Structure 1
Amino acid sequence: MADSGTTTPSSDHSVTLTSKTPIFGQKLYVIISITVIIVTLILILISLCIRRSLNTKRRRRMRVKHSSGLLPLVSETVKKDDEDDRTVEIKPIIKVVEGKMVNTSSASNESGTSNASSVDNINMSNLGFGRWYGLSELELATRCFATENVVGEGGYGVVYRGVLRDGSVVAVKNLMNNKGQAEKEFKVEVEAIGKVRHKNLVGLIGFCADGDKRLLVYEYIDNGNLEQWLHGDVGPVSPLTWDIRMKIAIGTAKGLAYLHEGLEPKVVHRDVKSSNILLDRNWNAKVSDFGLAKLLGSEKSYVTTRVMGTFGYVSPDYASTGMLNECSDVYSFGVLLMEIVTGRSPVDYSRAPGEMNLVDWFRGMVASRRGEELLDPKISVQPASRSLKRVLLVCLRCIDMDANKRPKMGQIVHMLEADDFPFRTESRPPRDTATLSSGVDAANKVPSTN
């Protein structure tokens, strides 16, 4: 009986593990194995969930540090791969104030106030758009925008001479905030010439945005503008000799040619005039004031816009249709070139009725073969007849009433520089007159409005 008592439990146990169960008819040891596997998987899933929860809490703590300004937020917007090719993405929630990128997201905290947070200072010169100046720095440079430091004034702002801490002299343009015009011009100039560097364009050094203040900092050109030298009180003999005037005209043409043909998208200046042509001590011309400029992509032949510019310089086709392209600048340059040749303003109501409008008077004088009488009497040494005729013809081609027939600015540069344009040799004077006359005929398709 004792032996039977000791062997029976072992026999019963062996039968129990291998016996079938009611669960799908599976043996007991199979059910136990499946149960162990399921429990293990559940434990693994629980572990993963706990780890994910911890990571989420950690990220939330990091965001708290970000919002307190302890960590930079611009790692995604400033490329770090190439120090010479840093770019900043312009997003609605980011703006720049005094050299700092500021988060202006509309997300609010519990108190309902905006969650604007300051982040890293960024050296804007590395971004290709010049340096950002603080308002206090520019106030110090201009002696709080003192009247004696004013060097220019226009419809959109006042330009001051300023001396920075490092001793460099700059021109500071304080934009007038009339109906948001300051913000518009600020953006236009940054878009148009923020990255542009050309010897015949005024260089934009930096900017300032402080509250509603918008200021632009340019290189300082120390010899005034073309309007002052043409129409100011310079005495009976102008310092602008014929050669100097041609140097100014060619330099201006090169600057405009770069805007039209050397950039993508091209830039249409829209306000080419003598007061916007600055001169250095060597009489090098520098085109300035891009507040009215428009960008024109290669896929567009024109852009329709509100007619703006300076009376006397605006092309008739743009004034009547509002369709703007580089041909409008070419017309304005033609008027400017006439102004350089004659020393007269585009519109002068103090003159006789037939001479008030420079374009109409100019056309009539050339048509009457009185081209030499067009020359500014303050030019002491007369230019060669060949040189004068070449410039007169360029003027007429620029103001052609058919905008499509006007030359490109690059072609104008070649016309003004080429000694053999428009005549091949000096031994063919009859052809000179015939060629010039044909240009006059084309320019006089539309009768005078006076």
Structure 2
Amino acid sequence: MVDGKNSTTTAPTATTKGNRKKTLTIALAIVIPIIVLLVIFIALWYCLLKRKTKKASGVDREIMSIESLLFDLNTIKAATDDFADSNKLGEGGFGPVYKGKLRDGQEIAVKRLSRTSGQGVEEFKNEIILVAKLQHRNLVRLLGCCFEGQERLLVYEFVLNTSLDKFLFDPTRRAQLDWDTRYKIISGVARGILYLHEDSRLRVIHRDIKASNVLLDNKMNPKISDFGVARMFDVDQTRANTNRIVGTYGYMSPEYAMQGQFSVKSDVFSFGVLLLEIVRGQKNSSFYLTDSSHDLLSYAWKLWTENRPLELVDSALGNMFPSNEVLKCIHIGLLCVQEDAADRPTMSSVAFMLNSYSSTLDHPAPPPLVGENRSKELHWSATRSQYSVNELDASEIEPR
């Protein structure tokens, strides 16, 4: 017989079960919204962080990359002996250029923005932003810059033989430029412009291709310099217009000098002028002083139509040049300086023609400066505008 007192157990009541269920429901009602809000917050934070990172990879990162190039003013002063006249290499529209040597022995060239410069701070920033992004063996390499007080300085690699014009237009020194050297310079400049137009991550129109903006290293390899007035294009952009024309008379295409319209074909025109100058050893804009023709382009065209093109060749070369190669260069030069921009070749075509000995070249049309009235008209338009400056939106950059 079982004892009733010892066998008695307490079973959960309906009230207890109800209280537990109610407590669990309340807890879930509180916790689930908190978890949902936390997930939403994390998602929003992640999206915001991703957006900031993306922005930093654009404009912010661009500015940061420029800031990383900043030089201390005292470093540059020490390198140039406080901008001593004995270290002055020359002077251009930007201002004077000085040779310097850093503490590690590296030689540099320092461009110092003059307060009276025709170019301004915007051109200065333009050159930094562009050149910092461009890397090619036929472009001068930017090492850094300096913004301190009133000083605006650009620090470049030092290029031993200064600029092409110092050789090409000097009656004595141009004899140092044999044909092989001249052809190397022509081909190198073509490659540099092709990189700007098609092969870099930007599409850049230089707008001031000329002999004084081509530097020569110790092996006479050319390096394009001075990007103060260069302009960036969108990938699918073909031309642009401006009311503020910059450049150098004698190298500017007619549509740019007279209408403010520029494109990759504007640089092609300038390259054509430079090519003919290298063949001739004489400057286009001063050619009228020595010949009845109004400029080098007119003279080259005259000889071409009279089947006497080799008379264009610099007398300093004597007969020491390959006729076929020189003829090809003259032909390419005349194709590049045709009046209608649409008729001019692209720089990729120019590079191909320079490297090919079997391609058939098109017949060139007359260059734009044939005829005295047209020459005077273009000269007036160019001189009226050549000292203006281009506009550029750029953020202020201050040294840290």
Q: State the TM-score, normalized to the length of structure 2.
A: 0.75
Given candidates 213, 216, 219, the residue that maps to 1:279 is 216
Q: What residue identity is the alignment partner of 1:290?
A: F
Q: What residue identity is the alignment partner of 1:158?
A: P
SS in 2 for 1:191: helix
SS in 1 for 2:315: coil
Change (3 A) 1:182 1:141: farther
- Indicate the residue corresponding to 1:392 in structure 2: 330
1:211-226 matched pairs, under 5 angstroms: 211-226=149-164
Q: Does the CA contact (< 8 Å) of 1:270 and 1:293 recur in 2? A: yes
Paired with 2:139 and 2:212, the residues of 1 have a C-alpha distance of 14
Paired with 2:109 and 2:50, the residues of 1 have a C-alpha distance of 35
- Indicate the residue corresponding to 2:366 in structure 1: 443
Aligned-pair CA distance for 1:309: 0.6
Q: Does the CA contact (< 8 Å) of 2:94 and 2:117 recur in 1? A: no
User: What do the CA deviations read for 1:86-111 (whole angstroms, capped 9, x no partner)?
Assistant: 747549xxx98xxxxxxxxxxxxxxx
Aligned-pair CA distance for 1:364: 1.0
Aligned-pair CA distance for 1:386: 1.6
Q: Does the CA contact (< 8 Å) of 1:277 and 1:286 recur in 2? A: yes
Q: Is 1:293 aligned to residue 230 of structure 2? A: yes
Q: Does the CA contact (< 8 Å) of 2:238 and 2:264 recur in 1? A: no
SS in 1 for 2:183: helix
Q: What residue identity is the alignment partner of 1:281?
A: N
Q: Is 1:303 aligned to residue 240 of structure 2? A: yes
Change (3 A) 1:379 1:263: same
Q: Does the CA contact (< 8 Å) of 1:242 and 1:381 recur in 2? A: no
Q: Is 1:376 aligned to residue 308 of structure 2? A: no
Paired with 1:210 and 1:285, the residues of 2 have a C-alpha distance of 32
- Indicate the residue corresponding to 1:138 in structure 2: 76
Change (3 A) 1:443 1:378: same
SS in 1 for 2:137: coil
Aligned-pair CA distance for 1:317: 1.1
Given candidates 343, 351, 355, the residue that maps to 2:293 is 355
Given candidates 188, 204, 226, the residue that maps to 2:126 is 188
Q: What residue identity is the alignment partner of 1:247?
A: K
Change (3 A) 1:293 1:373: same
Comparing 288-297 and 383-392, the one that deviates more: 383-392
Paired with 2:369 and 2:66, the residues of 1 have a C-alpha distance of 47
Aligned-pair CA distance for 1:354: 2.0
Change (3 A) 1:304 1:177: farther
In structure 1, runs of 5+ residues without a counterpart are 1-43, 45-74, 97-123, 424-434
Q: What residue identity is the alignment partner of 2:178?
A: T
Q: Does the CA contact (< 8 Å) of 2:295 and 2:369 recur in 1? A: no
Q: Is 1:164 aligned to residue 87 of structure 2? A: no
Count the aligned residue pairs: 329
Given candidates 244, 251, 254, the residue that maps to 2:191 is 254
SS in 1 for 2:175: coil
Q: What residue identity is the alignment partner of 2:265?
A: C
Change (3 A) 1:227 1:373: same
Q: Does the CA contact (< 8 Å) of 2:197 and 2:203 recur in 1? A: yes
Q: What residue identity is the alignment partner of 2:71?
A: Y
SS in 2 for 1:292: coil
Aligned-pair CA distance for 1:128: 7.0
Aligned-pair CA distance for 1:369: 1.2
Q: Does the CA contact (< 8 Å) of 1:156 and 1:181 recur in 2? A: yes
1:5-16 matched pairs, under 5 angstroms: none
- Indicate the residue corresponding to 2:111 in structure 1: 173
Paired with 1:410 and 1:387, the residues of 2 have a C-alpha distance of 19
Change (3 A) 1:353 1:89: closer
Q: Does the CA contact (< 8 Å) of 2:196 and 2:203 recur in 1? A: yes
Paired with 1:350 and 1:399, the residues of 2 have a C-alpha distance of 18
Aligned-pair CA distance for 1:196: 1.2
Paired with 1:344 and 1:326, the residues of 2 have a C-alpha distance of 25
- Indicate the residue corresponding to 1:263 in structure 2: 200
Change (3 A) 1:290 1:340: same
- Indicate the residue corresponding to 2:281 in structure 1: 343
In structure 2, runs of 5+ residues without a counterpart are 1-29, 31-48, 376-400
Paired with 1:383 and 1:444, the residues of 2 have a C-alpha distance of 25
Aligned-pair CA distance for 1:203: 0.4
- The RMSD of aligned alpha carbons is 3.1
Paired with 2:234 and 2:141, the residues of 1 have a C-alpha distance of 22
SS in 2 for 1:187: helix
User: What do the CA deviations read for 1:189-215 (whole angstroms, capped 9, x no partner)?
Assistant: 122221211000000111111133211
User: What do the CA deviations read for 1:355-384 (whole angstroms, capped 9, x no partner)?
Assistant: 341111111111111111100000134322
User: What do the CA deviations read for 1:199-248 (whole angstroms, capped 9, x no partner)?
Assistant: 0000011111113321111111001211011112426x711111110100
Paired with 2:100 and 2:305, the residues of 1 have a C-alpha distance of 49
Aligned-pair CA distance for 1:177: 3.6
Q: What residue identity is the alignment partner of 2:366?
A: A
Q: Which has the larger radius of gyration?
A: 1
Larger relative contact order, structure 1 or 2 (CA cutoff 8 Å, min sep 6): 2
Change (3 A) 1:76 1:147: farther
Aligned-pair CA distance for 1:350: 6.5
Change (3 A) 1:218 1:292: same
Q: What residue identity is the alignment partner of 1:243?
A: D
Q: What residue identity is the alignment partner of 2:314?
A: D
